[in-house]
Amino acid sequence: MQSLLSPLENLHEVREMLLGQRQHYSANFLNKETGDVNAYEALRYIFEEFLKWTPYQVRDCLTLEIVKLMKMESLINRVPCPPELDRNRDFEYVAWFLYPKTKNCNQKDLSIRVYRRLIDGEIVRFPKGYFDGTKRGWFRAQCTFQYMLIEYFPPFEDLESLYRFFAGPEGRKAIQRYKLTVPLQELYETPLDYLHDSLSPIQKSEALYRKYKLIMQKNYRHKNSNREVDSTSEM
C-alpha cells in the first residue's frame, strides 16, 4: 500500500491516543482551519500503520467496536456521511472518503437501501430533507417508485392499465401502503405525475399521461360541482 505522502508533524497525538496516554485530541489538532486534513491523515495512519488494513478491509471490516477501541470517534465525525447511511453503523462511507476507489454502490443503490429500511421498519421515516427538490431529491423519488413497482406489484396487463391504476384512488392507496407519501407530497401533484416522472423514456407514454390527466381533472371538476349542488340544496 502506498504510504502517507505528507505525515503530520503532530502525529504524536495519534500515537498517544492509541497508547492511552491522552483522552482527547487537542483543540489545535481538530481546529477549524486544518482539522479536516488532520483527521484524514490520522485515519489513514491508523488504518495503514497500526491496523495494517487494505482500503477494502476498511470498507468491509470497520465496526463501531473498532472505532471506539481505536478512539476514532472524533476523527470520523469529520468525515461526510451520505444521508442514506447510518453514521454509527454503515462505516463504508469512511473508506469511500479515504479511498474513493472502494466505492461499491451508486446513488440508486443508496436510495433503494434507505427505502428498504423504511419498508422493513428499521427506520420510521426518510431522512430530513431527503426529497428537497434538487436533482438528487427527484432522482431518489424516482428510484423508490421504480423499486416499489418492481418488488410489490404483479406485472400490469399493459401500459395503459398502469396509468389507469395510478390515475385512480387505488394508486394513491398503494403509495400510502408502500410508504411513498412523503415524496408524493413533496414533489408531485398526483400519483399519476409521480408514476409518469418515474418511468424511463422508453417506458412512459405522453399520450396516456395526457389522457388520464384530463380524466382526473374532469372527475375533480365533477365532484366539486356536485358539492356545490349539495350545499345549495341544503340552504
Digit-coded pLDDT (tens) for 193-232: 999 999 999 999 999 999 999 999 987 776 655 554 454 4
- Residue 3, pLDDT score: 42
Residues of the chain with pLDDT under 50: 1-7, 228-229, 231-232
Digit-coded pLDDT (tens) for 88-111: 999 999 999 999 999 999 999 999
- Residue 205, pLDDT score: 97
- Residue 218, pLDDT score: 85
- Residue 4, pLDDT score: 42
- Residue 11, pLDDT score: 84
- Residue 219, pLDDT score: 79
Q: DSSP readout, the chain?
A: -PPPSS--TTTHHHHHHHTTS-SS--TTTT-TTTHHHHHHHHHHHIIIIIS---HHHHHHH--HHHHHHTT-HHHHTTS---TTS-TTT-THHHHHHH-GGG----HHHHHHHHHHHHHTTSSSSPPTTTT-SSHHHHHHHHHHHHHHHHHHSPPPSSHHHHHHHHHSHHHHHHHHHTT-HHHHHHH-SSHHHHHHHHS-TTT--HHHHHHHHHHHHHHHHHHHHHHHHHHHHT-
Global pTM value: 0.82
